[in-house]
Chains A and B, each alone.
Chain A
Amino acid sequence: MAVLREETHTEHAARGSQSPAGGGAPALPPVGSPPRARSRWPKRAELLLLIGPALVVFVAFVILPVALAAYYGFFSWSGYGAATDFVGLRNYVTILTDPAFLEALSHNAFIVVMSLVLQGPLALGIALLLNRRLRFQSLIRVLIFVPYVISEVVVGLGWSLMLQSNGALNGLLEKVGLGGLATDWLSDPSAAIWTLLVIITWKYVGFAVILFLAGLQGIPDEITEAARIDGASYWQVQRYIVLPLMGPTVRIWAFLSIIGSLQLFDLVWIVWGQYVAGTAGTSTMATYMVANGRNAGSYGYGNAVAVVIFLISLVVALLYQRFILRRDSAVTTTGGAH
């Protein structure tokens, strides 16, 4: 017990001094004293063997490309041969004055806010529901997670066939006498972004539910039991005990959701494609990047857009870290949340 308590103590100290490295950078638990005194070289060799491979792959294929993007962003470059046509900040000026990019940026901002507003409460409700003892609990969970598990391509193709003007949704509306509501869900600029939000919510709410369920399982039964014994109703327990304890999990989810929304690409690209996304008002920074970078043969420009996306995400992440995650010492997790 004493050992345990001491360890928690040092853990808090370590957490306090943790620098804001990644977005939700978790604290690294301290290492206990090594079991035996050993000479240093075998230990170093072991360490190199253990950490080396992961570090090499990670630096070569994650860090290096991002650094390369920063470099190529200063060039006008077709992607072949050496980049020699140095243009300074011209790419960046073009990006930041291009109405198409600013429009994409505004779509991203809208998606960030609406994803939080739509998915957060919905996912909390679902997680509370699934956390109750229900019969067929496992089956219910699997069925609710189906959209999260299937690929963006399947989701995108399915929804776009369903929503096209002569598709199933309009057909259904016609059948139940609501034909007046039928519209061109995908290409009508006033409807398309909401269509996108519905698809995003449907696809990614499951991820939030998984995280929230994991968070709920971390709340000891004793606490809620005690409150129930003291006469609190189910809803009072959820409102005054469970929800406050869910704070760290919700904040981590929100962080991942924001970052995911800023990087959104797949669904828009599959449902709307390069050209329609612009006219329907669903383009994002990432679709702008691929359309005007690789697909236009302007690799220098595409890299510059990548740098802009990265910087925007970084600023948002640091602000979030500074003002919201600061209170939590929680460890984080991720996985394609939008």
Chain B
Amino acid sequence: MAIAAPVASRPRPRRRVSEQSRRSSLVSYFVALVLIGLMLAPVAYIILGGFRSNSEITVDPSGFPQAWAWSNFGDVLASGSFWTQVLNSTVAAVCTTVFVVALGLMAAYGLSRYAFRGRAAVYALFTAGLMFPLTVAITPLYILVRNLGLTNSLAGVVIPQIAFALPLTIIVLVPFLAAIPNELQEAAAIDGLGRLGFFFRMVLRLSLPGVITVGILAFIGSWNAYLLPLFILNGEASYTLPLGTQAFASQYAVDTAKVLAFTSLSMIPALIFFSLFERRIVGGLTGAVKG
């Protein structure tokens, strides 16, 4: 406020659309176009490859499809294993997301709005979780899950995923919940809403940007997860898409076109999901990375 006031009171110099600024925005578009080209070329290779035949790929590996062959995609979509894997991935991602958001929101609420002894220690424990990446824990985690009898089941993947997503979730959500003014809580209390009532009626709505951010990150993380399913899931029937894609690739190693079709199809859901919420992700992180 203090900074904005004098600036606002000064008459702003009218900005001319000069030749220079037009040129610089042209440069911006050009650079953006080049970047998009570089980022999409490998993806385009995968998708276009799915429309080619194997002989085309062998003769000219970098060419465009001659006759667009939809049959590769058709074959993949007609196979039961693809849909089983889509279902498994969906169940795992949805369960992970729902529980991470629920548990993370509850814990973040307790940590940001209750004064109690050991509060800082509990928070430090969660943040220390960032230092315990899955890679380090995977071997004993596998044994733990095996002892619980959860290998080859999605629960064996979902529960550890929840645990490993909690630190980030809590770190992103705490500032959102802490920023809710006390006056609001007092007003709610006067209207007869207890702290838990306040949580369900108000907090959920007010922290929605943060919730969406962590929810998307958890969903995409689960959808793309490789290491944990690789250890936990051994039977084809319980494979998630990444494992299924890899299994398909080694099983049909000679059928490159079909592998590329399978791969293209497996990346569609995450892409749709991300493009729907891209703006929300950046917005939700702004609170978390400010200096």
Contacts and interface: CB of A to CB of B under 8 A. Distances in A.
A172 B36 CA distance: 19
B116 A47 contact: yes
B144 A150 contact: no
A328 interface: yes
Contact of A310 (B10, B136, B178, B283): B136
A25 B124 contact: yes
B128 A218 contact: no
A181 interface: no
A34 interface: yes
A159 B46 CA distance: 9
Contact of A168 (B61, B144, B278): B61
Given A54-B107, A65-B140, A26 B266 contact: no
Contact of A63 (B13, B31, B132, B182): B132
Nearest to B271: A149
Interface string B7-38: 10010110000000000110011011001101
B182 A35 contact: yes
Interface in A19-53: 19, 21-26, 28-29, 31-36, 43-44, 46-47, 49-51, 53
Contacts of B32: 129-130, 134, 140, 144
Contacts of B260: 158, 161
Q: By CB atoms of chain A within 10 A, which of B103, B137, B199 has the most?
A: B137
Q: By CB atoms of chain A within 10 A, which of B42, B109, B112, B281 has the most?
A: B42
A214 B137 contact: no
B124 A21 contact: yes
Nearest to A147: B39
Contacts of A234: 24
B212 interface: no
A293 interface: yes
B131 A22 contact: yes
A302 interface: yes
A175 B166 contact: no
Interface stretch (A91-99, A187-195, A241-249, A275-283): A241-249
B45 A158 contact: yes
A332 B171 contact: yes
B166 A19 contact: no
B189 A28 contact: no
B221 to A, nearest CB: 7
Contacts of B175: 29, 331
Contact of A151 (B114, B125, B226): B226
Contacts of B63: 171
B278 A22 contact: no
A47 B107 CA distance: 8
B227 A69 contact: no
A146 B43 contact: yes
Nearest to B243: A153
Contacts of A172: 62
Interface of A is mostly: helix
A332 B172 CA distance: 8
Contacts of A171: 60-63
Contacts of B279: 138
A66 interface: yes
B237 to A, nearest CB: 19
Contacts of A215: 286, 289-291
A68 interface: yes
B221 A270 contact: no
B204 interface: no
Contacts of A154: 46, 242, 245, 263, 266-267
A304 B182 CA distance: 49
Interface in A253-296: 259, 263, 265-266, 269-270, 286, 289-290, 293-294
Contact of A32 (B13, B182, B274, B285): B182
Given A51-B107, A154-B242, A168-B49, 17 more contacts: A26-B171, A31-B119, A54-B126, A55-B122, A61-B141, A129-B31, A146-B43, A151-B245, A202-B42, A214-B285, A265-B227, A286-B135, A290-B138, A310-B132, A331-B289, A333-B288, A334-B130
Interface of A: 19, 21-26, 28-29, 31-36, 43-44, 46-47, 49-51, 53-55, 57-66, 68-69, 72, 79, 126, 129-130, 132, 134, 138, 140-147, 149-155, 157-159, 161-162, 166-172, 175, 202, 206, 210-211, 213-215, 217-218, 220, 222-223, 225-226, 229, 234, 245, 247-249, 252, 259, 263, 265-266, 269-270, 286, 289-290, 293-294, 299, 302-303, 306-307, 309-310, 313-314, 317, 328-336
7 contacts: A58-B129, A65-B140, A126-B35, A149-B270, A202-B38, A299-B139, A331-B287
